[in-house]
Amino acid sequence: MTSLAKTDALQNLAGTIALAGAGKMGGAMLTGWLAGGLDATRVTVIEPDPSDEIRAFAAKGIQLNPKTATAADTLVVAVKPQTFHEAGPALKPFVGPSTLVVSIMAGTTIAALEEVCGGRVVRAMPNTPASIGRGITVAVSAKSVSAAQRATADALLRATGSVEWVDDESLMDAVTAVSGSGPAYVFLLAEELARAGVEAGLPAELATRLARETVAGSGELLHRSKLGSATLRQNVTSPGGTTAAALEVLMGKDGMQQLMIRAIAAATKRSKDLAK
Ligand SMILES: NC(=O)c1ccc[n+]([C@@H]2O[C@H](COP(=O)([O-])OP(=O)(O)OC[C@H]3O[C@@H](n4cnc5c(N)ncnc54)[C@H](OP(=O)(O)O)[C@@H]3O)[C@@H](O)[C@H]2O)c1
């Protein structure tokens, strides 16, 4: 979807929106909505400790921590899953029988959301590049969600990047492991590349800069290129060369493939356990 189409979808969005939790993720979503032209006067934010940025949005017309709660057309839940046990029942007054409830909480199921908040639930998993509009979100909707409500959820989630919809909620644990937690693995790659550079004799500051720009530049190349990641990798690798020597280690027995499979399995299991 082009950024123009994104803006249209946000500008044409109907009804009122309540956002519970305007921390890192909720704040990034709100910033994306307003930048995309969503009418600020239709947005209510419930946030016990608003940042200066969120307070500044109040001057643009959002309602911050209203004294009385009324049912919204859409409630977006962006509090921590641990907070939800406490915060959830307090959100009920914002939910009417046909309110769309969009949750980005890790490990919180559609059934749990329906039980605590009611409403018609979309469960979504974003990731932190959302803060620069380059996130990817995976979403799944309850059967009660109408096509129009799904389009509303899509527009709200798309304000921070791209959106994929799945039909099977059980996939959300693996989604959380791959794209939700994924940015941490990429940042770790930058850390370890720098550390290995120091081991190989580079000054720490130079190694850090080289690793950071290599990860960031390669990410951008992957983003802009039509080629797949394997082809881009092969394009750097000449037979018998330096890259090939490193890849023999990284792609060898107990290399990155096995490590990544174990890491994703561990994160998937933790996501399942958290949902219990
Ligand atoms: N960060 C990620 O990479 C990531 C990725 C995917 C999904 N998520 C999900 O996104 C959600 C938010 O994560 P985050 O990283 O944005 O956390 P965060 O920065 O801690 O944001 C949560 C916000 O909710 C506020 N809050 C606490 N109690 C509340 C209440 N009763 N009513 C309304 N707001 C309340 C918190 O305020 P206080 O600071 O005052 O407690 C905080 O500002 C989580 O459920 C997480 O699973 C995060």
Please state the pTM of the whole predicted model: 0.93
Same domain, 241 and 137: no
Could you report the per-residue pLDDT of 120-136, keeping only the tens digit for each? 999 999 999 999 999 99
Q: How far is CA 163 from CA 1, 55, 103, 121, 159, in A?
A: 10, 28, 14, 16, 9
Residue 190 lies in a domain: yes
Same domain, 159 and 28: yes
Could you report the per-residue pLDDT of 175-184, keeping only the tens digit for each? 999 999 999 9
Same domain, 193 and 250: yes
Q: Which of 172, 202, 229 is the last residue of a domain?
A: 172
Residue 177 lies in a domain: no
Q: What is the mean pLDDT of residues 214-220?
A: 98
SS3 254: coil
Ligand 1 centroid vs 79 CA: distance in angstroms? 4
Same domain, 13 and 48: yes
Could you report the per-residue pLDDT of 11-48, keeping only the tens digit for each? 888 899 999 999 999 999 999 999 999 999 999 999 99
State the pLDDT at residue 13: 86
Q: What is the mean pLDDT of residues 200-217?
A: 98
Pocket test for ligand 1, best of 19, 25, 175 (most atoms within 8 A of CB): 25
State the pLDDT at residue 96: 95
Q: In terms of residue numbers, what domain contains 211?
A: 182-274
Amino acid identity, position 106: A
State the pLDDT at residue 8: 82
Q: How far is CA 106 from CA 12, 28, 35, 103, 186, in A?
A: 29, 16, 26, 9, 20
CATH of the domain at 109: 3.40.50.720
Residue 104 lies in a domain: yes
Ligand 1 centroid vs 45 CA: distance in angstroms? 13
Ligand 1 centroid vs 73 CA: distance in angstroms? 21
Same domain, 99 and 150: yes
State the pLDDT at residue 12: 82
Q: Which of 139, 172, 205 is the last residue of a domain?
A: 172
Q: Is the pLDDT score of 78 beyond 80?
A: yes
Same domain, 156 and 259: no
